[in-house]
A and B are shown apart, each in its own frame.
Chain A
Amino acid sequence: MDNTITYREAVREAIRKAMREDERVFLIGEDVGNYGGSYAVSRGLLDEFGRERIIDTPLSESAFTGAGIGAAMNGMRPIVEIMTVNFSLLALDQIINNAASMLHMSGGQFNVPLVIRMATGVGNQLGAQHSHSLEGWLSYIVGVKVLTPATVQDAYDMIGLALSDPDPVLVFENSLLYNSKGSLDTKSTPIPIGKALVHRPGKDITILTYGINLFKALEAAETLAKDGIDAEVIDLRSLRPLDDETIMKSVAKTHRVVIVDDGWKSGSISAEIMARINEQAFYELDAPMARVCTLEVPLPYAKHLEDAAIVQVDKIVDTTKKVMVQS
């Protein structure tokens, strides 16, 4: 079966499928029921599965995330929806001190098969408390896995992968991708957690990215191609674990690297990736690595300021060209 649907529908279909197949799966979060999800992902699910399994919560991120953890420890397969990544900060105690630590702290006795979905991303003029990209930062946490679906196929596949994983998985859905369309094959075998994907093979330079910036990077690659630069674009897909193998293989092929990261530069996932390339593939490099990140400001509201702060196609193009001439 092959069909074209939106990213939003892909996530919804994955949740619906999981809930039909496994009575232990339930969805819990703010506005997931009557409202239909703040980004309309869960619209219609309340009618099909009822209030017992599509559970509206009060504004209590810590408690309902913790409740998800407790339910997971007691045999369920909860999907916790956190409205935006900014609100996840209220649940960090539960995510770090309980979900991520439980298996180790209990000497292997209690695993936490939990999925936490969050909307993330910048570019909607939502200001500093509703539009950040903290997935790189949350991927710092040992004990969780961090997925960043960019495509419709991954939006669908990753929910299933996350639910079948015995450990806590954080899934970051970029809010600007919900309306994007793509082809979905529900019968294909999903690419496992922890595997990156070469989206556009190229020989001159490697552009590493994830989430919505995959599409900006692909657009940049087309522009670069007109100037004779053949960029390889890699969708990291999973920020924890990172796919070192695919990254290093590409570096060994192109010898040049640009990382496109929605987070701030300091202490970001791009910093981690640069460090790994330095450790594992330094002598493959023909030029210093570069990166395109969000400027180090809390995200501003005004359109021109926001545009200037965040990753843009022309910034990727310019940065890539600079790296190309440094060799």
Chain B
Amino acid sequence: MELDLTKAKEFYSKMLLIRRFEERCVEFYSKQKIRGFLHLYIGEEAIAVGIMNALTPEDAVLATYREHGQALAKGVSANSIMAELFGKQEGTSRGRGGSMHLFDANTRFYGGTAIVAGGLPLAVGMALADKMMKRNRVTVCMFGDGAVAEGEFHESLNLAALWNLPVLFVCENNRYAMGTALNLTESETDIYKKAASYKIDSKQIDGMDVVEVAKAASRAVEDIKDGKGPLFLECLTYRFRAHSMFDAELYREKVEVEEWKEKGPLVVFQKRLEEMGLWSEMDVKELEDEIKTIIDEAVEFAENGTLEPIEDLEKFVYSEVSNG
């Protein structure tokens, strides 16, 4: 992966889009236009952008409940995400999913899982299907450090390795499972070592550095498509915001958050571009304006969206096509 001006602009604007999109979400949460649980990705943007950069539209992604950024980076439209958050019919899940359950068949974005390790077995199955049908695709499974404590994490890694499946496990280690620090819940806090124990090639990388994530992801996806089986990336990161909008953040010091903000993905990337002499070539104002337009449009789209009729509430419990 070559980092030139075009790529630099792409990375920066995608991370900025996620950041600004979610900041706008906070506004609309305060205005009670967005309800339910809202888990923000702010601080973790480099992971989604770096990982998705390695994928083709044919590759699938299973995401977490903190997935606005993952969805935007995979190419799900800001309009449909915002409409979903507003509970509208034009949303990714016709208003049935909300923030935690974004789905988009067009971009092969398979949610949106709110049971922390619940997506891992699905990723194993998705990859198994690709292998059986000899389709050269990768399934990416994103999950947080909290998922590591669940049995499904271990069961799934074992199966993926045993069957040599084309799946990329991406652990977004932001150091807290909701409000409990990793060292209070795990005997081994280096998560990649757990994956390695299943004979999966595993790496720990700086999840704040989009370039490092993108490089690791590109190499991993290439290896997987070459038939090297599952791979595991532990991306060290930090969320700048509370776990959800209901979280009083009693479990960590403000100074810790401030320290991490200085290592934030946008800051890190700017420094990198400055060192490369590319930053001066970036028109950040222009990018901000473009992003503002995208988000304004998304908000307008969501505001003007329609409510799913109550008569259709019981649709999609079962498929409409009956067995033939």
Contacts and interface: CB of A to CB of B under 8 A. Distances in A.
B323 A66 contact: no
A108 interface: yes
A242 to B, nearest CB: 14
Nearest to B114: A97
Interface in B74-115: 91-97, 101, 103-105, 110-115
B111 A70 contact: no
A107 B92 contact: yes
A66 B119 CA distance: 8
Nearest to A63: B155
Contacts of A104: 96, 316-317
A53 B162 CA distance: 15
Nearest to A57: B159
A66 B122 contact: yes
Given A58-B155, A67-B124, A68-B125, A103 B118 contact: no
A60 B121 CA distance: 10
B285 interface: no
Given A105-B93, A167-B318, A110 B103 contact: yes
A167 B323 CA distance: 9
A94 interface: yes
Contacts of A69: 121-122, 125
B212 interface: no
B87 to A, nearest CB: 12
B91 A74 contact: no
B5 interface: no
Contacts of B296: none
Interface string A48-67: 00001100011010111111
A73 B122 contact: yes
A111 B108 CA distance: 14
Nearest to B97: A105
B34 to A, nearest CB: 17
B11 to A, nearest CB: 29
A113 to B, nearest CB: 8
Given A68-B125, A110-B105, A62 B318 contact: no
B32 interface: no
A106 B315 contact: no
A70 B101 contact: no
Contacts of A111: 319
Nearest to B124: A67
Contacts of A60: 155, 158-159
Contacts of A193: 323
B307 interface: no
Most buried by A among B128, B133, B324: B128
B48 interface: no
Contacts of A107: 91-97, 103, 316
30 contacts: A53-B132, A62-B121, A62-B152, A62-B155, A63-B120, A63-B155, A63-B156, A63-B159, A66-B121, A67-B125, A69-B122, A70-B128, A70-B129, A71-B125, A71-B129, A73-B126, A75-B129, A94-B118, A98-B118, A103-B316, A105-B96, A105-B101, A106-B97, A106-B103, A107-B95, A107-B97, A108-B316, A109-B103, A143-B318, A164-B323
Interface of B: 60, 91-97, 101, 103-105, 110-115, 118, 120-130, 132-133, 139, 151-152, 155-156, 158-159, 162, 315-319, 321, 323-324
Interface of A: 24, 26, 52-53, 57-58, 60, 62-76, 78, 93-94, 97-98, 103-111, 142-143, 145, 161, 164-167, 192-193
Given A76-B129, A166-B323, 12 more contacts: A60-B158, A62-B152, A67-B124, A67-B159, A76-B133, A103-B319, A104-B96, A105-B93, A105-B111, A107-B94, A164-B324, A166-B319
User: What 6 pairs between A and B have smallest CB-CB spacing?
Assistant: A66-B121, A70-B125, A63-B155, A107-B94, A67-B125, A106-B103
